[in-house]
Amino acid sequence: MNLFILWFFKLTAIPIVFLYFKLRVITAEKRKPKIKGRTLFVSNHLDTIFDAVAICLSYPFKSLYHIAARNLFKLNWFMRFFLPRVGGIPAEQISDDVSSVTAAIKLLEKEKAVVIFPEGRVSKTSETLKFYPGATIIAAKTDPTIIPVYHFGKRGWLKRATTVLGNPFKLSEHFDLDNVTGEKIKEMTDFIRERVMELKKLIPQKVVQREENRKGGQSS
């Protein structure tokens, strides 16, 4: 990570994201969750780039690493140069990619903050897909503070997108991490997904209805 490039990106991206993309950030409590030590943001995934940007810009004074699809790093010379310098960690989509999991564990052990999208790909229907166990394995190994995140709404120029930041929790508060089996990994993965999904209830009903009307208009 290059802090100069990261801060330059944040300073230029903040007015674009909040003014032109009209990002709305909702928190479960009056204040957004604090980042203290090792922190794992676990989020649904609606947009290849915007979701990670929305989380990072919600914490403008913090440096967040994020796991991103390896093919993004191969798009062009700019992405190959830019992504690693703003905290990007390459990962294969929907695979047993050990390297990205190992990289995330090492960062968390150094008390860093990491963003991960357990669906492994962007949802084309806006519905939250199955969560793969990578995030759970990382959390079981390091027991970080987990901040669930839920993205909602169309991403695009002058489209109102919403990002919801949930209450922090730790897996160790709900599960015994000393003897983790495959069955327990699945149980914890489902638990994390539920914590992400329940954040949709915090979005104002009129916002949800507006998005449903937009989808209905497109399909008709």
Per-residue model confidence (pLDDT) at position 112: 96
Instruction: Please give the distance of CA 71 from its chain centroid, rounded to a whole number.
Output: 18
Q: Which of the pair, 149 or 219, is modelled with greater confidence? A: 149
Per-residue model confidence (pLDDT) at position 96: 60
Closest by Cα among 166, 160, 167 to 208: 160
Alpha-carbon span 117 to 59, nearest angstrom: 18
Q: Which of the pair, 178 or 92, is modelled with greater confidence? A: 178
Q: Comparing 15-24, 60-69, 136-145, 208-217, which segment has the lowest mean pLDDT? A: 208-217
The per-residue pLDDT of the chain, averaged, comes to: 87
Per-residue model confidence (pLDDT) at position 147: 97
What is the band of 157 on the pLDDT scale with cuts at 50, 70, 90?
low
CA distances from 85 to 54, 56, 63 (A): 17, 14, 11
Over residues 91-126, the pLDDT tens digits come to 876 656 688 899 999 999 999 999 999 998 888 887
Q: Comparing 5-14, 55-64, 119-128, 159-168, which segment has the lowest mean pLDDT? A: 5-14
Per-residue model confidence (pLDDT) at position 131: 93
Per-residue model confidence (pLDDT) at position 13: 80
CATH class of 3-219: alpha beta
What number of other Cβ atoms are within 10 A of residue 186's Cβ?
A: 13
Contact in structure between 145 and 151 (CB atoms under 8 Å): no
- Mean pLDDT value of segment 164-181: 94
Per-residue model confidence (pLDDT) at position 98: 82
List residues bridging with 42 in a β-sheet.
116, 148
- Looking at the chain, the whole-number percentage of residues with pLDDT higher than 90 is 45
What is the band of 166 on the pLDDT scale with cuts at 50, 70, 90?
very high
Over residues 51-93, the pLDDT tens digits come to 888 899 889 889 999 998 888 888 888 888 988 888 888 887 6
If DSSP codes are grouped into helix, strand and coil, which group holds residue 21? Answer: coil
What is the band of 43 on the pLDDT scale with cuts at 50, 70, 90?
very high
If DSSP codes are grouped into helix, strand and coil, which group holds residue 114? Answer: strand
Q: Is the pLDDT of residue 219 over 60?
A: no
Spell out the domain ranges in the chain: 3-219
Q: Comparing 36-40, 157-161, 174-178, 214-218, which segment has the lowest mean pLDDT? A: 214-218
